Amino acid sequence: MVHSPARGLTLQTLKEDAPFDSKPLNVVEHYKKLLEEDDSLSMPIAAVETLAELIAHSDSTTTTTELFTLLRTASSELASASFNPISLSSGTSLFLRFLTLQRPPPDMSFAAFKGELIERAREFVTGSGRCRELISDNMNDFIVDGSTILVHSYSRVVVQALLHAAKQKKRFQVYVTESRPFGLGLKTHAILTEAGIPTNVVLDSAVCYIMPKCDLAIVGAEAVCESGGLVNFIGGYSMAIAAKAMGKPFYALAESFKFTRLFPLSQYDLPSSLASPPLSFSPLTSSSVKYTIPATPSRPMIDSGMPTPLEMSEETLSKQPLLDYTTPELITLIVSDVGCLTPSGVVDVLLQIYQAQ
Amino acid sequence: MSSPKPTSPEAQGSPKRTPASLPPPVGLASPKAAAAAAGGKVDKNAQKAAKAAKRAAAKGLQVGEQAPAPVAQQQGAKDKGGKPAAGGGAQATKAAAAAQASGSKGGEAAGAARAGHQGAATDNTDPLQLFLHLDLPSHSSQLSHSSKSSTSNIHPSIIRLALQYSEFKIVGANARCIAMLEALKDIISSYTPPAQTNLTRHLPTTHLNPQISHLIRARPLSVSMGTAIRYLKYEISLIDQEMDVEEAKSLLLLKIDSFIRDRILLAGKVIEQHAIEKIQNGDTILTYARSSVVEGVLLEAKKQGKEFSVVVVDSRPLYEGKNLLTSLRSASIPTTYVLLSSLSLILPRISLCFLGTHALLSNGSMFSRAGTAMVAMMLKEKGVPVVCCCETYKFSERIMLDSIVGNEMASPASLLSATSTDSTTPSIPSTPSANLSPLSLLYDVSRPEDVTVVITEAGLIPVQSVPVLLRDYKPLAGL
């Protein structure tokens, strides 16, 4: 697709002035822009918005099949371009599924039909904000006064649920994992502290240490799989194992549009757009690269300063996995806008969406 | 079953046929036992005794070898004292009483009954006590035309099929179901409703039911066959009473064909596609015995260029894995063949496990070839994903808590028959004898938690969601 990054037009003017722009839309760029502009937008929603925009630009398509092919290519283009194709494709496949169930009424022009589709997609996008409110409501019962909560990384829906609970004068304290390598936990820490919730950041490696002090663990999700398991930012799986081992309830908060028809059998069965799997060994090279063995960072005395930590090299860092798969038997409940589900209840919801005749 | 005496069919038949004519066994046991054995329970007890008799006969006991009946009766009565609940002794008493009763038929039956009496009286030590409710398979001679039992109304296709079932010429849920549907097609095409009735009313009950019961005499109905029969009967019920018979018949043949195509063959193709996505290059895939679906998956994966090797785990006495081995070899897939006893040794190399199943119960248990539960359990313990491939028509609404209640018994002779010409193996008589009770069960029930995923034509689902599919998935009307 030829690249034309909106040529100075803002998204709004595009929508208002030219609902059927003949210029082909660069879906990848548009998707990227949407995510940059609005921090609260989650990836599946941005993907749906992008596809809706694509329909608005698809002047040349005159049949549903054509439109469908166009959207399908766009979806795979988006998936292959994005670092995390899983969460995005839950949005695109939902939209494609919605489309297969639509038939243009005989008395409607195809352009009008497309207009209708765009309308419905936009409704879905604006309506998606409501999901988080519903989840916050559903989660309310699980956060009791005086509890200590362990949270993983940064998730918009988890933060909103915690703020919602705090607004009702519930007193609770939060431990949040630092979530290396991006340090997303620090964002959660900043938001919660600002709202007056006592929050501590813990090292990712300290999850097991702090787990006995916590009453429950809450995570968000990049995607909820058909198995009832979660695809999560790296560290979610270890937190779930620790919670299970120490008998703490482990709740996952996820909007229903994050449910995907994906059934990973193991950690390594997740779709990825990376060329090589994470943490693959590089072939041994000759001794041209000289390694200097660093001194051991230590803090022997109470008055010695913090040692300079050793840092991963850029290359090592780029080889790290960023997502892991939490198996369903570790999850207590998946709290979503369609209700609080046991892991096996996810299939029920998915089949309602994807099996409807 | 190679019975030394022709008495067992008699013993099996007579108490079942004439439960009402049994004399009350008051004189034989304590009054309590008599009370327990009286009324509606008589039939049950008689059956129990008959089975014990059959089993005892299978053990090759001679009538002359029997312990004197009164001794055993006393034993039974003693055990019975103060214990009205069914226990080992109670069972022996009831069985003895009923066996004695049936013995009054005279001649051969008496011998068999006494044999049964012996079997029942030694219940306490009989290791097969748990399996008394299971029938030994009927011998093929009982299923053929020459048999005394009435096969007059049975369609020749069904008689042939029953023989093929009973001799294990046709095994596997899919193969049995397809063969049965083909036989039913034969029946339908040669069917004309008698006067004063019509197809809708006559065909499903009066005409088809005896045929199906004849098949059941060969081997119990599989879940897959049950689904197919239910579907056919439903389709018959939909036929308009006014419809021309020939037209109705061709419609039914069409419906059967569409069932075979949509629910079995196409379903298998869809499962293959889903399953191949789960095979990664370099995988070592383990499978147990032979499942037509799994075989299809492996062959199709090879055709699509996946690089993997297969470990076929097999077991006695059916050695079904050898058939799989042949087709994998001809597809030049690198394959290892081990017996179930070597499973633990091969385990560290396995990265994926595909299992087929006879039926998938609604709690997610696989009801499958004996040994599957062990394979699933060991692989799950090892952390290998266990993938169950199962068409939705094999889903069952039943739940089985153990492998004892609803199992199927194979002839124990095949367990004892010599498998090698090695002269160092001590010779075991190929028939069961008095102090030897071989047990050959065909199926077992695996634990739901051992199965990672079920691949069906409706997609990949966790085992807990089998009821969801049972409830919602209706690809053809009426199921």
Q: At B108, is the pLDDT very low, low, confident or very high (cuts 50, 70, 90)?
A: very low
Predicted pLDDT of residue A21: 47
Q: Is A83 on the interface with B (CB under 8 A)?
A: no
Measured between beta carbons, which residues in chain B are less than 8 angstroms from residue A344? 462, 464-465
Check whether B130 has a pLDDT greater than 50. yes
pLDDT > 70: percent of chain A = 91
- Of the residues B277, B456, B464, the best mutation for testing chain A's interface (the one with the most A CB atoms within 10 Å of its CB) is B464
Domains of chain A: 11-129 (1.20.120), 132-265+320-354 (3.40.50.10470)
Q: What CA–CA distance (Å, rounded) separates A265 from A269? A: 6
Same domain, B247 and B340: no
User: Which residues of chain A from 219 to 258 reach within 8 Å of chain B, CB to CB?
Assistant: 226-228
Query: Which range among B279-288, B332-341, B437-446 shows the weakest confidence by mean pLDDT?
Result: B437-446
Smallest Cβ–Cβ distance between A355 and the set B385, B453, B473 belongs to B473
Same domain, B470 and B387: yes
- Final residue of a structural domain among B227, B251, B268: B268
Check whether B24 has a pLDDT greater than 50. no
Residue B446 lies in a domain: yes
Residue with more model confidence, B128 or B161: B161
Residue with more model confidence, B27 or B301: B301
CATH number of the CATH domain containing B463: 3.40.50.10470
Does A226 contact B462 at a Cβ distance shorter than 8 Å?
yes
Instruction: Give the global pTM.
Output: 0.78
Across residues B136-164, what is the average pLDDT? 77
Residue B430 lies in a domain: no
Residue type, B477: A
Predicted pLDDT of residue B53: 56
SS3 B310: strand
Same domain, B196 and B255: yes
First-residue to last-residue Cα distance in chain B: 37
Q: Which residue has the tokens 């004292």?
A: B81
Decide if B280 contacts A272 (C-beta within 8 A). no
Count up the domains in chain B and report the number. Answer: 2
What is the least distance, in Å, from the CA of B364 to any CA of chain A? 12
Across residues B146-165, what is the average pLDDT? 80
Check whether B148 has a pLDDT greater than 80. no
Residue with more model confidence, B190 or B76: B190
Interface size between A and B, measured as CB pairs under 8 A: 52
- Final residue of a structural domain among B209, B238, B268: B268
Longest dimension (CA), chain A: 83
Q: Which domain holds residue B219?
A: 140-268
Q: Which residue has the tokens 């502009």?
A: A37
- Of the residues B355, B465, B474, B476, the best mutation for testing chain A's interface (the one with the most A CB atoms within 10 Å of its CB) is B465
Smallest Cβ–Cβ distance between B453 and the set A263, A343, A348 belongs to A263
Chain B residue with the nearest C-alpha to that of A262: B460
CATH number of the CATH domain containing B182: 1.20.120
Across residues B64-77, what is the average pLDDT? 43
The pLDDT mean for chain B works out to 77
Q: Which of A14, A20, A16 is nearest to A33 (CA)?
A: A14
Sign of CA dihedral A199, A203, A205, A206: negative
Give the number of C-alpha atoms closer than 13 A to the C-alpha of residue A229, restricted to the C-beta side. 26
Predicted pLDDT of residue B342: 94
Check whether B291 has a pLDDT greater than 90. yes
Across residues B166-181, what is the average pLDDT? 93
Query: Which range among A320-329, B45-54, B153-162 shows the weakest confidence by mean pLDDT?
Result: B45-54
Same domain, B262 and B302: no
Check whether A280 has a pLDDT greater than 80. yes
Q: What CA–CA distance (Å, rounded) separates A136 from A145? A: 16
The pLDDT mean for chain A works out to 87
Q: What CA–CA distance (Å, rounded) separates A87 from B318? A: 47
- Of the residues B451, B460, B471, the best mutation for testing chain A's interface (the one with the most A CB atoms within 10 Å of its CB) is B460
What is the least distance, in Å, from the CA of A312 to any CA of chain B? 31
Same domain, B321 and B251: no
Check whether A192 has a pLDDT greater than 70. yes
Q: At A153, is the pLDDT very low, low, confident or very high (cuts 50, 70, 90)?
A: very high
- Across B3-17, B423-437, B454-468, which has the greatest mean pLDDT? B454-468
Predicted pLDDT of residue B134: 85
- Final residue of a structural domain among B218, B235, B268: B268
Check whether A166 has a pLDDT greater than 80. yes
Does B460 contact A348 at a Cβ distance shorter than 8 Å?
no
Predicted pLDDT of residue B49: 58
Same domain, B290 and B198: no
Residue B341 lies in a domain: yes
Same domain, B286 and B253: no
Residue B332 lies in a domain: yes
Q: Is B458 on the interface with A (CB under 8 A)?
A: yes
Predicted pLDDT of residue B30: 44
Predicted pLDDT of residue A286: 64
Which two tokens mark A352? 């309602």
Smallest Cβ–Cβ distance between A347 and the set B278, B280, B462 belongs to B462
Predicted pLDDT of residue A129: 84
Measured between beta carbons, which residues in chain A are less than 8 angstroms from residue B473? 351, 355
Residue B131 lies in a domain: no
Same domain, B260 and B299: no
Smallest Cβ–Cβ distance between B468 and the set A227, A261, A351 belongs to A351
Same domain, B461 and B358: yes
- Residues present in chain A in total: 357
Tens-place pLDDT, residues A211-268: 999 999 999 999 999 999 999 999 999 999 999 999 999 999 999 999 999 999 999 9
One DSSP character per residue, B450-479 reads G--EEEETTEEE-GGGHHHHHHH--SSTT-
What is the least distance, in Å, from the CA of B464 to any CA of chain A? 6
Residue with more model confidence, A307 or B308: B308
Torsion angle, alpha carbons of B19, B22, B26, B31, to 10: 10
Smallest Cβ–Cβ distance between B464 and the set A265, A266, A344 belongs to A344
Same domain, B222 and B194: yes
Across residues B257-285, what is the average pLDDT? 95
Across residues A181-198, what is the average pLDDT? 95
Report, in angstroms and rounded to the nearest whole number, the Rg of chain A calculated over CA atoms: 23
Chain B residue with the nearest C-alpha to that of A348: B468
Same domain, B283 and B242: no
Residue B419 lies in a domain: no
Smallest Cβ–Cβ distance between A347 and the set B449, B452, B461 belongs to B461
Smallest Cβ–Cβ distance between A348 and the set B385, B387, B468 belongs to B468
Cis, bond preceding B317 (omega within 30 deg of 0): yes
* Exposed e or buried b per residue across A78-98, where buried means at least 16 C-beta atoms within 10 angstroms of its C-beta: bbeebebbbbbbbbbbbbeee
Same domain, B248 and B297: no
Q: Is A341 on the interface with B (CB under 8 A)?
A: no
Sign of CA dihedral A199, A203, A204, A206: negative
Tens-place pLDDT, residues A91-115: 898 888 888 887 778 888 888 888 8
User: Which residues of chain B from 40 to 99 reach within 8 Å of chain A, CB to CB?
Assistant: none
Residue B275 lies in a domain: yes
What is the least distance, in Å, from the CA of A87 to any CA of chain B? 19
Q: Is B473 on the interface with A (CB under 8 A)?
A: yes
Residue B388 lies in a domain: yes
Instruction: For residue A7, count other CB atoms closer than 10 A to its CB.
Output: 7
- Of the residues B277, B456, B468, B474, the best mutation for testing chain A's interface (the one with the most A CB atoms within 10 Å of its CB) is B468
Across residues A280-299, what is the average pLDDT? 78
Decide if A225 contacts A263 (C-beta within 8 A). yes
Residue with more model confidence, A85 or A5: A85
Across residues A136-141, what is the average pLDDT? 93
Smallest Cβ–Cβ distance between B462 and the set A227, A268, A355 belongs to A227
User: Which residues of chain B from 369 to 388 reach within 8 Å of chain A, CB to CB?
Assistant: 385, 387
